[in-house]
Structure 1
């Protein structure tokens, strides 16, 4: 019996062992689950279906992990984060600020990139609009009006605009006549303005263009308020930009996993099924969400909506501006009343019998233009002299504005249509300027004068009998510029023909000092007019004091820079690029100017001037030639390191650039592998097809390319991954704060993750401390450039000292 029993147990042991082995192996195959919470503004099922492909895509990027997607509303998402049940969150900017206020986060890994009207964007804003025929022209005009918006919790549809109005001391809804909340979609707010139910409307950027594309509205019916708030943004906008949705990692997530997730997000193609399912263009480097936090604080939105205890000092700080304004108004009224009484007394004391008809005729011939009837240059200068004399002799301090208007293409029209047509055109322009000037909203005691200075140049002089405040001067200048630009933006009817005119305009306030004079103010306005001429037709430039200094300095640099190239005053300094152990791998060539009087000048002082002309190409040619010579010197000494040089966009876009550069390398008899061309992201955006073709040809030749100041431009990673580059350089602005600022650290880690995915070499610029070096060395194997290792030194001397 014992033998039988033992025999059975022995037969069972292999089966038991196999079961234990399979169970243990199966347990080790189970991937660790990471949970991604996504804000669901729509039904959960729709959100789950939209973002599930992204969760699967991220799971593939983490072989040992599985991403579980959880779609939830605001309250549910907050609860999941609080309970520690989420590892990553994808939500809107306002909610991100709310979470960051209450929870510890490692920061945003990436920012969502969306498509709007054919543009890939990582930011959005709000639009403030009204009917083109309304009397609302600026933000201050919105006060007391009827306003239509979708909802008060919409960042792009209400809060962004409310913040801009708050900067003008307009609080909504308190300062409105009425606020209509139309609800979604944004089209209803637009329709409320078109129907006349509202005077002003708020919508998110892209809405008006979308409705126009659908033929739902005509954009010419509308006027955009504060339209110059953001430059170079492809959509209509009235507010500052705010970033799109952030992809957030909770603090407990391992940094290596965060880097892999960030890299996968940034490399997501806009044509992939994942992006198409999510209806996005991909993700970009994390944006700055401080503007969203500033908005929430200013508007007292969650989490900054709690009541605070105010002290007497706080109350005074809050009402100080109003109190000072009231005191200023009272003092101004008393001053105006006193000056007006003085003016009346002088008028009554003046004798009108001294003025004769002959004197009037002579005076008219001497001081007025016979064609237009306007005052001429002599009369204008006399009026300017009189104002200065009154200010000096009577110790008066008054505000006065001088405006010059120069017609564009008048000489072309005059030659093409004849002198008679040109004369009629000048008379019509004179009449329009007089009507526009009379329509300005000015103090009752203000005087205004329109003058013709020469063939196609006019002037407007606005004189006041008191000193305006800075705010009043700014508001007046804005009014004048807006009215004149509006006048010249409309066709001028002449002999049954509609002429489209444009003009360059410039202005300056005077006197700006006790030593100011007619000659000085005329020179200032001409300087601003020259600035307007450079910017192109139809623009208005206000003179600012640095303009005069800049104009003089700009002229001196441009005049002597071309001589500096011929006189061999330029030189190259080299700054090494080394490993963390200090081993030399490469060097960057940096141009300097040995000025005979001013000493050694950095490129920041003369390269911007050179870029406005073809001098930057001449400098670029010299730099290439000198860099190749230094490479020859280094090779003869047996030194083996690469050299990088900066190439300007204007130089790179020269038609013969590729052939010329090859000829220089051949002539120097060096291996192209020793030369790296540093280009900026802005060069890539401009004519991308041509740039890529040139880069590929030079790459086949053997040269290398590096992206300088990576992360500071606007290029998309979808472009960069198709470029034949081998290196990216982290801008020193990110490196400087990397050991103290979590946002900078997260951004640098993201760039390193991108470089690792794209198999690119990385150079960190501006390394100046041991802490910066240790942080970067702990994250990746890269090269370092900065004062911690060496300052830039004269090229040949540096090579000889190696």
Structure 2
């Protein structure tokens, strides 16, 4: 009977295993086929993207090379004077340096004036197409035109010659050679073939690394494959070449129906599915081994299960309740004893696994630090102990600066290495008995001080900031780190773990936004707190009771010494607190959304004040700051336009100042809003330039008229040569882009002369005048006497 039971157990489990494995193998086979098709499609998509990127990079590089010749003064003079011999010589010399196959110069209408080819007049149509392509786009990467010239394929780039109006065009043709094909092969493991139509109406491979036999095979299948692709609409073709089946993606390069040019990107099917074939064999072998092992194990297990296990029911029920602490006593040496031993082993194993699962659920896999859940438990215990013992604890929360930039530029592997380095840095110098360091997720970390207060947390935050000041080398790339740090303490800021962590996070976000390095929680940062609600109510009353005051700080032209404008600033004349500076209520207003009402008040008062000054014969440009919330307000441009009309203020008299960080919060919407203001005729300025992380490639597309150098570079520039170099670089950059430059933070006379010497246009600061009530500005302007620029230059040079 025991043998029959064992046989049934073995047969049942072995049959189930075989059934599961058959189904599994069928599903794996289906998944392999699907993944192989997806891989081929993804490879083709990637190949096409890489090919487009290579063409764009080539077009950009070639346009820049051609632009050097177009910008040459002597070359433009030769074109204006009609000196053909000089033009041809310049075209040949520059074309040889740039690697151009031929060079052509035309007049402003595209009529060919000279060229380096004998048949240059026959290329008039190609030249005009290249000029039309370049004239239709401002993107150098999209300005290239691919055309066949003879048996070769060239990339034509056209660049206008301006003095300052367009007086002609330089068109250069660069032959596509095997470097492009080899780059594609190296980057994507795909074969690239450039196919063009011959004069007889057939097709030829103008550029390829395939052997002659493979090329002829591809061309013979070209028309049927192209027709099948067009009928399916899938833009995927198949070619049966001598070295196997290939799938291909067709990418048109030219824009001419008479002389079409196509790029065919080939991917070998055999190479794509080879890893999957190996996987299939490995699965078969593993299945065989699994069946054999399972058959043996089932037979052994079936022979041991022969006696009822009723006596172990109570013990099994205890284990089911999660009681793993009490060991299962032995039950002799028979089958029951063996089953009891198995239960004991199971108890220990399950106990260990539950401990591991509990630990893994509370630990960050990358840094091996506690995760958010683990840190929350630690904070909960520390807060409970601090409340019970009437002591204290604190949370320091930090968010890394520029981590997303590291991920985007150096890759996620470098980002992971950076997080691990930061984790080690945070643990250094902190005792595990008194501190818990955790990674909360992404680039956020936190430190729990189990026994400490705000001062202790400040000391820890300064230690962290000092550690982050050191540059970090990641695979040969130097990374400068920083962090926004928030601090909250128990019981000063919260007496429960949830609010303590939330308020530390609020302080951290404030430190990031205000770029102060670290910040201690205060009630007005929490829009949900009673103090914040009270402050919000007081701000509303300030508008209703007219407690806000408009202050103006003059802006002076460094060359003429004339007062040319003023920056509009807000002050709060609180009935009990006195004059409240903006730093104490503007951050809260931005967080709560009340900044829009403040901006509206500031716009109205600024335009009313401008009208008052203009009526007195004082015409100045008024600068007004906009916040990130203002830039995403779709109704703001209409409100500004209505106010300009109401107060009879010309748009050019208003300059809107926007910080880099405000623009980069939502670049697309910010650019749309700025373009609306630009179309209305308002002036715009980038405030605090040099302190944000926006790229120059993005900033140059913004419709701005002025860069405002941050005060941190201006205040010590006459003592710090590095600051002076930064200021000079910003001035040169702005002037090259056609922008004015304003320097804020002018607090010493020596800086006045040095700024003028560096070519800065406008300055403002306490040395000129502190912000003053708006009604005092006309009298101050009347009494302003500008220092002579050369005197201050001499003073600056003597420092």
Structure with the larger RCO, 1 or 2 (CA within 8 Å, 6+ apart): 1
Superposition TM-score, scaled by structure 2 size:
0.38
**Structure whose alpha-carbon radius of gyration is higher:** 2
